[in-house]
Amino acid sequence: MDYSALKTHLAGLSMPNPTMLASGILGISAGTLRAVAEAGAGAVVTKSVGLKPNAGYPNPTVIQVECGFLNAVGLPNPGIHKFIEEMGELRDLNVPLIVSVFGFSPEEYAEVASLAAEAGASAIELNLSCPHVKGTGIEIGQNPEMVKLTVRAVKDRVDRPVFAKLTPNVARIVDLAEAAYSAGADAITAINTVRAMAIDVETFRPILANRFGGLSGAAIKPIAVRCVYEIYESVDLPIIGCGGIRDWRDAVEFMLAGASAVQIGSAIALEGLSIFKSICDGIISYLRRKGFRSVSEIVGLAHKK
């Protein structure tokens, strides 16, 4: 099958197709990142990495619920200095390597991002939206002024594209998008998980060790599509759609809402790595059926009057 119609240009990155591995899924080792790329992803995003090693929360950290997955893993990672060793094994990766970073201040985000960029990251994704770790994620990302300060601090330190991954756990996500845009972000990733919890009715206790976590999967897709749609009308930046994408129809829906690319996360647990190729095949068939020559032609079509 000819995949040339899927070529995607995003904030200076060239991708063979618009699918990306979402952060937090299979993204901490060189071997798994390479396997995802070889399975057909157009780009890979690492698990979020901080300045220092972090063990994360105790189990249970991930559970399946009737409408998706609930997790409070706690941003476990080896720290950027150790992760740079993994990055060294990916210099010949044939798709962009996007490093997701977090910190507990704008300056710390910038420090981690700078180290990742020096080690060869194609782009930096700022995790401004983890819903369950104190001092970072939404505690920074829910505040437009802190979003602006963080994006600006990182842009001042790196010469790579910077993506701001935003939280849906706010009244107006466009306020966050506008803050990121004003500070020089090169793209927006929307969205991260929705803050949620589950309680065991037999033991009367929250199931996750951290009590609260982030909901992912099919249940959040309509929320994510709405966020992408609103951001597209608010700022002139490329958008990467994320949240509940399970097949090509979901991917196309995000693109019609305004996403130039899409990230696949929890669906991998259900479908395996073949999901990247099946989504690409489905999009190609859709483009041919509708008479489009390029995937870029459908981006934002739902906004046309």
Cβ neighbour number for residue 4 with a 10 Å cutoff: 10
Rounded CA-CA distance 165/253 in Å is 19
**Is 214 within 8 Å of 194 (Cβ atoms)?**
yes
Domain that holds residue 85: 4-303
Q: Shortest CA distance to 164 belongs to which of 181, 174, 156?
A: 181
- Supply 264's token pair: 């696949």
Reported in sequence order, the residue ranges of the chain that DSSP labels E, i.e. its strands, are 8-10, 13-15, 19-21, 43-45, 62-65, 68-71, 97-101, 123-127, 162-166, 187-190, 194-197, 199-200, 205-206, 212-216, 239-242, 261-264
> Residue 90: what are its φ and ψ, rounded to 5°?
-120, 20
Helices (H), 54-184: 80-87, 106-118, 138-141, 144-155, 173-182
- Supply 123's token pair: 């782009």
Q: Shortest CA distance to 220 belongs to which of 193, 255, 238?
A: 193
Helices (H), 18-143: 30-38, 80-87, 106-118, 138-141
Q: Shortest CA distance to 5 belongs to which of 304, 300, 285?
A: 285
Rounded CA-CA distance 300/93 in Å is 30
Which pLDDT belongs to residue 305?
67
The answer to whether residue 242 is catalytic is no
Per-residue pLDDT tens listing for the chain (305 residues): 789 999 999 999 999 999 999 998 887 899 999 999 999 999 999 999 999 999 999 999 999 999 999 999 999 999 999 999 999 999 999 999 999 999 999 999 999 999 999 999 999 999 999 988 989 989 999 999 999 999 999 999 999 999 999 999 999 999 999 999 999 999 999 999 999 999 999 999 999 999 999 999 999 999 999 999 999 999 999 999 999 999 999 999 999 999 999 999 999 988 999 999 999 999 999 999 999 999 999 999 999 86
Rounded CA-CA distance 272/291 in Å is 30
CATH number of the domain where residue 281 is located? 3.20.20.70
Rounded CA-CA distance 59/207 in Å is 10
Q: How many domains does the chain have?
A: 1
Which pLDDT belongs to residue 26?
82
Catalytic: which of 67, 130, 227, 242? 130
- List all residues 6 or more positions away from 105 whose beta carbon is below 8 Å from its beta carbon: none
